[in-house]
Amino acid sequence: MPDTPTAPTPDVDAPEDFLPIKDTDYVEFYVGNAKQAAHYCAQLFGFQIRGYRGPETGTKDTVHYLLEQNDIRFVLTASLRPDSPISTHVHRHGDGVKDIALTVGDATQSFEETTRRGATPVQEPTVHEDENGILVTSSISTYGDTIHTFVERDEYDGLFFPGFEPWSIDDWAAPPTTGLQYVDHCVGNVHEGDMETYVEYYAQTMGFYNMLHFTDQDISTEYSALMSKVMANGDEKIKFPINEPAEGKKKSQIEEYLEYYQGAGVQHIALATDDIITTVRTLRRRGVDFLQIPDSYYDREVLRDRVGSIEESIDDLEELSILVDRDPDGYLLQIFTQPVQDRPTVFFEIIQREGARTFGTGNFKALFEAIEREQARRGNL
């Protein structure tokens, strides 16, 4: 395996940030059945169903469930009609991520600054208003059919968006949360040769910088390879790794994704926890399916040589198939779920950072071999 790359520090002389981003506002999924998807996220992952918007609240042809867990907000959206962009999206991609929305101070300015620099406009600045105040949104596109919505919500006091009402069912005991705290990063898969295009896109239109770069030498197994560049905003709160497949003996996991998603899209959303052992134990008990890691990964001597001493017990990590890696700033613990819909496309990562700013380079090989075993089971390797 390669040496762990050092994450560069953002350039202190960088020009003034023209797109100050406060946070990930929400991640919106377009799904075939939002009601069932909402309960899947609630029962298995511990999200709380907070809001609902649909025919009963005055939205005629679509339904939207708002789910929250600490600082993570998911919106699950479905169409009630066949002839809508949502249905077309689901027909083509299966359930998937449509929108990685970003909280900004000024959605109008964000739209103007990014589109002036070449971002593809999706929605002009739009004001949404109800008795709880004013909210402004605008959107630009990124890879595939994925978009970024800029959300300005300083003047809004409501639940989430106009039209959403608190969701409640009498006597429903919502399952407890599982300790998931915030969105750590969102990874996109793009076609071979397109990685550089989107690296440029994020640099040029959003002022992101290339925090890390992995070549196919860094990320390869006996059978397949991929390349990845991580784009981040100035304070690294928003991190978007972008993967593209590289030449290999067999079909890479990225190619499998691109085939089943019918194009570029979000591969995984990494959700952070402060206590990965408790979180993963709970998730497993609830029925979340994770990638299985071979026992050899937990060879105590090899692991100690690679990551040094860590707080957590290796026995616990081995029992739960949690991976560990170290970089110059600290270490991290991570684990990957199986795809969360029928197609082998989107999945979640659970991550605990103990100082580390990178993404688990030392685990890439073990991880990709685990994915390839699953690909082989699906007949796609």
User: Residues interacting with Fe ion, by CB under 5 A?
Assistant: 270, 349
The minimum distance between CB 221 and Fe ion, in angstroms, equals 17
The minimum distance between CB 349 and Fe ion, in angstroms, equals 4
Q: If you search the block for the tokens 């596109």, which residue do you land on?
A: 141
Please report how the helices 195-206 and 107-116 are oriented relative to each other, as an axis angle in degrees rounded to 10.
130
Q: Is the Cβ of residue 325 or residue 349 nearer to Fe ion in the bound state?
A: 349
Q: Is the Cβ of residue 145 or residue 349 nearer to Fe ion in the bound state?
A: 349
Q: Is the Cβ of residue 104 or residue 293 nearer to Fe ion in the bound state?
A: 293
The minimum distance between CB 184 and Fe ion, in angstroms, equals 8
Secondary structure string (H, E, C) spanning the chain:
CCCCCCCCCCCCCCCCCCCCEEEEEEEEEECCCHHHHHHHHHHHHCCEEEEEECHHHCCCCEEEEEEEECCEEEEEEEECCCCCHHHHHHHHHCCEEEEEEEEECCHHHHHHHHHHCCCCEEEEEEEEEECCEEEEEEEEECCCCCEEEEEECCCECCCCCCCCEECCCCCCCCCCCCCEEEEEEEEEECCCCCHHHHHHHHHHHHCCEEEEEECCCCCECCCCEEEEEEEECCCCCCEEEEEEEECCCCCCHHHHHHHHHCCCEEEEEEEEECCHHHHHHHHHHHCCCECCCCHHHHCHHHHHHHHCCCCCCHHHHHHHCCEEEEECCEEEEEEEECCCCCCCCCEEEEEEEEECCCCCHHHHHHHHHHHHHHHHHCCCC
The minimum distance between CB 325 and Fe ion, in angstroms, equals 11
Q: Is the Cβ of residue 95 or residue 349 nearer to Fe ion in the bound state?
A: 349
Q: Is the Cβ of residue 298 or residue 336 nearer to Fe ion in the bound state?
A: 336
Q: Is the Cβ of residue 206 or residue 270 nearer to Fe ion in the bound state?
A: 270
The minimum distance between CB 53 and Fe ion, in angstroms, equals 30
Q: Is the Cβ of residue 135 or residue 183 nearer to Fe ion in the bound state?
A: 183
Q: Is the Cβ of residue 148 or residue 239 nearer to Fe ion in the bound state?
A: 239
The minimum distance between CB 268 and Fe ion, in angstroms, equals 6
The minimum distance between CB 28 and Fe ion, in angstroms, equals 19
The minimum distance between CB 15 and Fe ion, in angstroms, equals 29
197 near 207, Cβ under 8 Å?
no
